[in-house]
Amino acid sequence: METVAFSAVERKELKKSATRRLRKEGMIPGIVYGYVGTIPIAVNAHDFRSKFHRMSENTIINLKVGDKVYDVLIKDYQSNIMKGTIEHIDFYAIQSDKVVRTRIPMHLVGSAKGVREGGILEVHLHELEVECLPKDLQDHIPVDISRLEIGHSIHVKDVQIPAGIKVLSLPDQVVVSVLHARAEVAAQPTAEAAPAAGEAAGTTPEGTKPAEASKSAAEKK
């Protein structure tokens, strides 16, 4: 997996006014935490943005702070949607011989057989929770769905996991399935359910309207 390198400066002033000044000067404030304790730092905003689109949660970053270099992962960041800027970054320091726990996204590969036959693809799980050494980290794990038929599912236990990675997600969790396409059929009224023409018109069995029948009876009297 590709490694990205950045240089950072350690922040000495931690007040809000100093942080605002850093942003105006084209820097992004942040921290490095983990086995190193907590180190307030700042990175060049232009340099970071130019590489940010190539990075994932599991991209190992060689972060140089002064005369020291730390291997870090981006654990969180805050952005300003209105300005389109990154306001703060949390870097998590890792060690090459220590297991890390993280999430790796799954990418579906191929076109499901069931979808080609008219089924509907439904994705239930997008990421796997895993632990591994930093050298075994992956940007994503491919999941081949080309043979997936209607009414069938792929579970976590069915996913091909690269060597060195231990999956922590439950093995019976459904990752993706193909469902039957359900066409709703509108209920049609039957002939028996339709009212008789005479009854609908409000007539007597003899075909005489109730009012006319009453009038005829009165005349006979």
pLDDT at 5 over 60: yes
pLDDT at 11 over 90: yes
Classify residue 216: in a domain, yes or no: no
Give the count of domains, the chain: 2
For the domain that residue 80 is a member of, what is the CATH number?
2.40.240.10
Residues with Cβ < 8 Å from 74, sequence gap 6 or more?
Answer: 55, 57, 59, 61, 89, 90, 91, 92
Average pLDDT over residues 37-48: 95
pLDDT in tens, 152-198: 999 999 999 999 999 999 999 999 999 998 753 344 455 444 454 44
Task: Assess whether 170 and 147 both reside in one domain.
Answer: yes
Classify residue 29: in a domain, yes or no: yes
Residue 125: which domain range?
100-179
Task: Assess whether 90 and 8 both reside in one domain.
Answer: yes
Give ∠ CA 105-110-115 in degrees, rounded to 5. Answer: 110
Select from 94, 109, 131 the last residue of a domain: 94
Distance between CA atoms of residues 7 and 9, nearest Å: 7
Residue 54 — very low, low, confident or very high, per pLDDT cuts 50/70/90? confident
Task: Assess whether 11 and 27 both reside in one domain.
Answer: yes
Classify residue 220: in a domain, yes or no: no
Classify residue 184: in a domain, yes or no: no
This prediction's pTM: 0.73
pLDDT in tens, 114-164: 999 999 999 999 999 999 999 999 999 999 999 999 999 999 999 999 999
Task: Assess whether 58 and 39 both reside in one domain.
Answer: yes
Task: Assess whether 112 and 167 both reside in one domain.
Answer: yes
- Kindly list the distances between the CA atom of residue 182 and the CA atoms of 114, 147, 212, in Å, as whole numbers in the listed order: 14, 21, 53
pLDDT in tens, 92-108: 999 999 999 999 999 99
DSSP 87-99: EEEEEEEE-TTS-
Contact 135, 155 (CB under 8 A): no
SS3 217: helix
